[in-house]
Structure 1
Amino acid sequence: MPDSPVPLDRQLWDLVYAHDAAWDRAARTAGLSAAQACLLDALTDGGRSMGELAELLLCDASNVTQLVARLEAGGLVARRADADDRRVKRVTITPAGRRVRRAVRRAFDFADERLGRLTEAERLRLSGLLGKLLAPPS
């Protein structure tokens, strides 16, 4: 009896899970948790407020506070009062944090490895389909 095809929603979940597991492995190569690596990856040159990070990372502000405290203790980020509103704390990445972020990105080969399995035509088709799935509902 032939195997029944895996439902599409299950394939999507498997892809997301494989992506997350690969990110976790890449983060661990730099001595970080996946959440810490996500926070470093979310920092821009000008930094971000704690609230912006919570929104971007889809987590509670108290989680961001804990993540920032750990990264700050490791010298990877700095926390400062915002120049315009001293009540707001801005998080900036340090030179050491940039080096660690680059190391995580180098170790995260999921997209290159998986997309490398596809032909150029398949990648273009997949890109179009993903664009359609990710577009806001009309």
Structure 2
Amino acid sequence: MAVPSVPANAATALEQAMFTFVDAYNQAWETAASEHDMSTAHACVLGRVETRRSMGELAEELRCDASNITQIVARLEARDLVHREPNPEDRRSRHIVRTPSGDDLYGEFEQSFEFPRAAAANLDDAEREQLTALLQKALRAA
């Protein structure tokens, strides 16, 4: 997965800091995923099927084509990390469910993905609360 670098036209120090943070986050996510023999997409889907999810829900949430989700799920299924089961409300669709092996692997992945914890450790309690509030406020405007 190509990770973007800070664009040359980032107008403000805030924009540059945001790009740098996102870049570091993405690189750490990719590193943690590869440590567990997963792609970033595999880790992302595996994390989102903690509860039963349809393929359509996953595709919409991840803003990607349903065929991409189908391929990712097939690869996760081949590793016995997820399985498909009939949707009890609509037998035409399937839910994706993490297996116990998938739960174990994702738990290991989460432990190895230290970036958010390490970044937050640089802040005191008040700064963490302030950053949380500011990020939530910024996301409401996006």
Please give the alpha-carbon distance, in whole angstroms, between the structure 2 residues aligned to 1:85 and 1:121.
Answer: 47
**Match status 1:127 vs 2:141:** no
Deviations 1:1-20 (A, max 9, x none): xxxxx621121111111111
Identity %: 41
Please give the alpha-carbon distance, in whole angstroms, between the structure 2 residues aligned to 1:124 and 1:71.
Answer: 36
Please give the alpha-carbon distance, in whole angstroms, between the structure 2 residues aligned to 1:127 and 1:64.
Answer: 31
Please give the alpha-carbon distance, in whole angstroms, between the structure 1 residues aligned to 2:65 and 2:13.
Answer: 33
Where does residue 49 of structure 2 map in the other structure?
43
Where does 1:1-138 land on structure 2 (aligned, <5 Å)? 7-45=13-51, 47-136=52-141
Alpha-carbon distance, 1:57 to partner: 1.6
Report the 3-state secondary structure (helix = DSSP H, G, I; strand = E; otherwise coil) of the residue aligned with 2:132.
helix
Unaligned runs of 5+ in 1: 1-5
Runs (4+) of structure 1 moved beyond 3 Å?
none
Deviations 1:52-94 (A, max 9, x none): 1111222110110000000000100001221221211111100
Greater relative CO (CA pairs within 8 A, separation 6+): 1
> Root-mean-square deviation (CA), in Å?
1.7
Alpha-carbon distance, 1:127 to partner: 1.7
Report the 3-state secondary structure (helix = DSSP H, G, I; strand = E; otherwise coil) of the residue aligned with 1:88.
strand
Unaligned runs of 5+ in 2: 1-11
Please give the alpha-carbon distance, in whole angstroms, between the structure 2 residues aligned to 1:124 and 1:99.
Answer: 31
Please give the alpha-carbon distance, in whole angstroms, between the structure 1 residues aligned to 2:126 and 2:87.
Answer: 48
Please give the alpha-carbon distance, in whole angstroms, between the structure 2 residues aligned to 1:48 and 1:131.
Answer: 25
Alpha-carbon distance, 1:104 to partner: 0.6
Please give the alpha-carbon distance, in whole angstroms, between the structure 2 residues aligned to 1:111 and 1:44.
Answer: 20
Report the 3-state secondary structure (helix = DSSP H, G, I; strand = E; otherwise coil) of the residue aligned with 2:89.
coil
